[in-house]
Structure 1
Amino acid sequence: MQAVDGPSSFTGSVAVIGPGAIGTTIAAALHEAGTTPRLYGRTAREQLTLHRESQDIVVPGPVITDVSQVGQPADLVFLATKTTQLAAAASWLDVVAGPHTVVCVLQNGIEQQASLAGRIHESRVVPAVVWFPAETQPDGTVLLRGEARLTLPDSPAATTVVQALRETWCGVETSRDFTSVAWRKLLQNAVAGLMVLTGRRAGMYRREDIASLALSYLQECLSIARADGAELDDGAPLEILTRLQAFPVDMGTSILADREAGRPLEWDTRNGVVQRLGRRHGIPTPISDVIVPLLAAAGDGSD
């Protein structure tokens, strides 16, 4: 990892598409540093509120919900919609992102660049690994339950994101082996899918039976990650499980929140991809073959 510091030289305009939990966090960090982003989303709000430590940060809006009200394209766009909302976000990208706009994708998974292929040139797409827990509260505000940090690939376009965030309280680092970093986060996201199937929060990973299942699933995911080019050591599954076991017992995850709210689930981005790539590489995925259909059924909305 390469930490970044020093003065910021970014002076362009910034937009956030999808100011949910992650988008609100980034918007609040930018606003406090003097760069208030334009906000675009599906829910109209006059402002955004982030609860960080003992402070409430209010980001002035409004959140624009009508794509026809977009003015000039932004120089930098943070795309913070769920992967299940990409089709809806496409109309925003068509007008918010111009020919030179850098798009930082704050989404789960390892396929961010591929998901925008044909719409945003690959050289201007910056995938990001989000390392912080942020949860939307019943009143629409967002609770940040840890330090905000992003990992980006070491690329020319990522420099724009680094400069924009450099003087904020959102840490940012770059990696020359972003594939491995992204896969490590995907392993954590994949095993978090067990919360959906049980309706339980992080405390369940302290159960011996769940811990055993989670570790076996993580080892299966690790074999696919390595086949896909990630360099993760044998200890990665246990490290991830130990991290989950150390979470507050009431800590949830975005896919569980979506399940509880009856929203579409990112099961394919977080779990289905492991099964798909396992088949591509000829690697058996017996645990995925059970978990993925159950998650798909949980998220299809039918009785």
Structure 2
Amino acid sequence: MSEALRIALLGPGAIGTTLAAVLHEVHRTPVLCGRTAHARLVLRDDKGEVVIPGPVLDQPSAIQSPFDLVFVAVKTTQVADSAAWLAALCDEKTVVCALQNGVEQQQQLARYVNGATVLPAVVWFPAQREADASVWLRATPRLTLPALPEVQRVVAALRGTRCTVTLEPDFQSVAWRKLLQNAVAGLMVLANRRAGIFRREDIHQLALRYLQECLAVARAAGASLADSVPDQILADLQRAPVDLGTSILADRQANRPLEWDIRNGVIQRYGRQHGVATPISDVLVPLLAAGSEGPG
């Protein structure tokens, strides 16, 4: 089945390049689509590099027919601008796997995909774009998907690759846990520093209070997460390399729009919806929004 699938990848950034590489290694190279034409993509890790042959198509008119499986790795701030791509790549028989942050991927993509089935995914590997446009992968790639019949197309595509796939019956809880990890990275943006800041005691205490606030909202939204989750997330961040970045920090440093709403604003929005106080979000969210959108 996997060999017969017609696979496309939209958004060859850090996450997209990683998925393209693991598919290319098992001779399932996807059709690559993005805003900028590239002759090839390069993924590097501690063991060497993988070169994914292009081209990266930069015009939706180049797509002649819909695909069986489309991995969407554009940021949520780029979804509306990707409407023409999604219309060309998808129809009602397509499965779309959203390699995006947040807990609202299905709602964000549904209007653009011509009736395709949209599957959310939780991406668990740190990958970052380097100055030479290559991507540096710092851990083994793995995905968590909801335990639904529709995911078998994704499982088949990734079978035999070095990207492990876990099917999770309680996907909502896993997605919210990842959201907490993404939300606390907003402090890196405001400080303009990488993961090393979490080794400071004052930032540790602020981050812990914020994560506890996020945890209360997640539980109100239906997630089943233990009291220990905030401490676990902070422990992971403190063990991380001090120079470990995050996509939202890279966007801020490049003066690009930030995914502040789906990473941080969502905590504030769901808190208001469920009657949960969010005093730290009420400070963080306006600052992140202003950093993204100005004016000034």
TM range (shorter): over 0.9
- Is contact 1:264–1:301 with CA below 8 Å preserved after alignment? no
Q: Pairwise CA RMSD of aligned residues?
A: 1.2
Q: Is 1:239 equivalent to 2:232 in the alignment? A: yes
Which residue of structure 1 aligns with residue 61 of structure 2?
68
Aligned length: 296
Change (3 A) 1:78 1:9: closer
- Is contact 1:81–1:107 with CA below 8 Å preserved after alignment? yes
Q: 1:99 aligns with which of 74, 77, 92?
A: 92
Output the amino acid matched with 1:212. Q
- Is contact 1:51–1:142 with CA below 8 Å preserved after alignment? yes
Q: Is 1:199 equivalent to 2:222 in the alignment? A: no
Deviates more, 1:45-54 or 1:202-211: 45-54
Which residue of structure 2 aligns with residue 133 of structure 1?
126
Which residue of structure 1 aligns with residue 257 of structure 2?
264
Q: 2:143 aligns with which of 140, 150, 155?
A: 150
Listed as ranges, the gaps of 5+ residues in structure 1 are: 1-7
Give the Cα–Cα distance (whole angstroms) in 2 for the partners of residues 158 and 249 of structure 1. 36
Give the Cα–Cα distance (whole angstroms) in 2 for the partners of residues 79 and 9 of structure 1. 18
Give the Cα–Cα distance (whole angstroms) in 1 for the partners of residues 16 and 150 of structure 2. 19
Identity, in percent, stands at: 59
SS state of the match for residue 116, structure 1? helix
Output the amino acid matched with 2:178. K
| CA deviation string 1:124-183 (max 9, x = no partner) | 111000000000011111000111000000111111101100110111111000000000
Output the amino acid matched with 2:123. V
Give the Cα–Cα distance (whole angstroms) in 1 for the partners of residues 295 and 54 of structure 2. 36
| CA deviation string 1:167-223 (max 9, x = no partner) | 101111110000000000000000001000000110010100000000000000000
- Is contact 2:184–2:207 with CA below 8 Å preserved after alignment? yes
Output the amino acid matched with 1:286. P
Q: 2:156 aligns with which of 140, 163, 176?
A: 163
- TM, length-normalised to structure 1: 0.95
Change (3 A) 1:153 1:244: same
SS state of the match for residue 143, structure 1? strand
Shift of 1:53: 2.0
Give the Cα–Cα distance (whole angstroms) in 2 for the partners of residues 153 and 243 of structure 1. 24
- Is contact 2:71–2:98 with CA below 8 Å preserved after alignment? yes
Q: 1:11 aligns with which of 4, 16, 35?
A: 4
Output the amino acid matched with 2:228. G
Runs of 4+ displaced beyond 4 Å: none
Change (3 A) 1:56 1:293: same
Which residue of structure 2 aligns with residue 252 of structure 1?
245
Give the Cα–Cα distance (whole angstroms) in 1 for the partners of residues 284 and 223 of structure 2. 23
Give the Cα–Cα distance (whole angstroms) in 1 for the partners of residues 165 and 106 of structure 2. 19
Give the Cα–Cα distance (whole angstroms) in 2 for the partners of residues 128 and 73 of structure 1. 21
Which residue of structure 1 aligns with residue 101 of structure 2?
108
